[in-house]
């Protein structure tokens, strides 16, 4: 097989060749920049978690390379929370070709936090932002057993699900005392599992601001709490 130098020089002079080189360079830049942005969100979010929980033990696991991370934190003994599990997943910022599709399908970075409680909440209750509930939001297993009302919170519309007047009052007071939900989209209290669940859209520097008040408020809604 012969090598035609003139033919290769001709190809190298074509505009499409330069467009291909430029496009490849753009994809390479997007990969490293996107990975750096996602890593920055992860480090900030999980540092905020450590500052809130102050764990005595912790493990972090990478999920699928650039997809996300999972953390398991053990708070100090004797507190209302016995274990915290957190999973953060990212938009594929490192994949410029896939990013527009992901914005349509997934829309956000996601931080799911499960709080294992030492005592069950007084009743089941949920605060869930309407837009999240309608867009691939979670299904509330006992929704048919709960009462529901609309709630305006910080310029956003939420559904408030409640299983007793006591938990309804707790959740309403929480929104009144903290008039901005920030990036919180779902707060769930499930006595049958003795857990609380939080879903939020993580942003660097804001996880502690939005999750911290929930963590400090939880002892007041547990059976036997103040």
Q: Note the pLDDT tens digit of each residue in 93-126.
A: 655 554 555 555 666 688 999 999 999 999 999 9
Reported pTM = 0.81
Q: What is the arithmetic mean of pLDDT over 77-102?
A: 75
- CB environment 53-63: b (16+ within 10 A), e (fewer): bebeeeeeeee
Per-residue pLDDT of 155-191, as tens digits, reads 899 999 999 999 999 999 999 999 899 999 999 999 9
**pLDDT tops 90 at residue 140:** no
Q: How far is CA 201 from CA 62, 84, 111, 122, 134, in A?
A: 19, 18, 6, 27, 16
Q: What is the arithmetic mean of pLDDT over 54-67?
A: 85
**pLDDT tops 80 at residue 47:** yes
Average pLDDT, whole number, for the chain? Answer: 82
Query: Is the model more confident about 198 or about 144?
Result: 198
Confidence of residue 40 (pLDDT cuts 50, 70, 90): confident
* Both tokens assigned to 91: 């938009």
Query: Is the model more confident about 217 or about 144?
Result: 217
Asked if 181 and 129 count as a contact pair (C-beta separation under 8 A), the reply is yes
Distance between CA atoms of residues 186 and 76, nearest Å: 26
Confidence of residue 128 (pLDDT cuts 50, 70, 90): very high
Residues, the chain: 226
Distance between CA atoms of residues 92 and 102, nearest Å: 7
Confidence of residue 6 (pLDDT cuts 50, 70, 90): very low
Backbone conformation region of residue 155, classed left if phi is above 0, alpha if psi is from -120 to 50, else beta: left
Q: What is the pLDDT of residue 106?
A: 65
Q: What is the pLDDT of residue 136?
A: 61
Confidence of residue 22 (pLDDT cuts 50, 70, 90): low
Q: What is the pLDDT of residue 68?
A: 82
């Amino acid at each position: 097989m012969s090598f035609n130098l003139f033919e290769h020089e001709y190809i190298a002079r074509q505009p499409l060749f330069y467009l291909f080189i430029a496009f490849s360079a753009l994809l390479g830049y997007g990969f490293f920049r996107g990975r750096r942005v996602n890593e920055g969100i992860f480090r900030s979010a999980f540092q905020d978690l450590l500052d809130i929980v102050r764990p005595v033990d912790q493990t972090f696991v990478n999920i699928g390379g650039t997809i996300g991370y999972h953390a398991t934190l053990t708070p100090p003994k004797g507190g209302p929370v016995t274990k915290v599990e957190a999973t953060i997943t990212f938009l594929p910022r490192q994949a410029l070709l896939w990013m527009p599709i992901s914005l349509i399908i997934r829309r956000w970075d996601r931080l799911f936090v499960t709080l294992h409680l030492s005592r069950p909440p007084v009743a089941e209750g949920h605060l869930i932002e309407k837009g999240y509930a309608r867009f691939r939001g979670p299904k509330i297993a006992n929704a048919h057993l709960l009462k529901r009302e609309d709630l305006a919170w910080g310029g956003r519309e939420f559904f408030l699900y409640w299983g007793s007047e006591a938990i309804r009052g707790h959740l309403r007071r929480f929104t009144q005392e903290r008039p901005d939900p920030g990036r919180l989209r779902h707060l769930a209290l499930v006595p049958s599992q003795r857990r609380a669940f939080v879903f939020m859209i993580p942003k660097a520097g804001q996880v502690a601001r939005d999750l911290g008040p929930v963590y400090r408020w939880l002892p007041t809604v547990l059976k036997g709490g103040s």
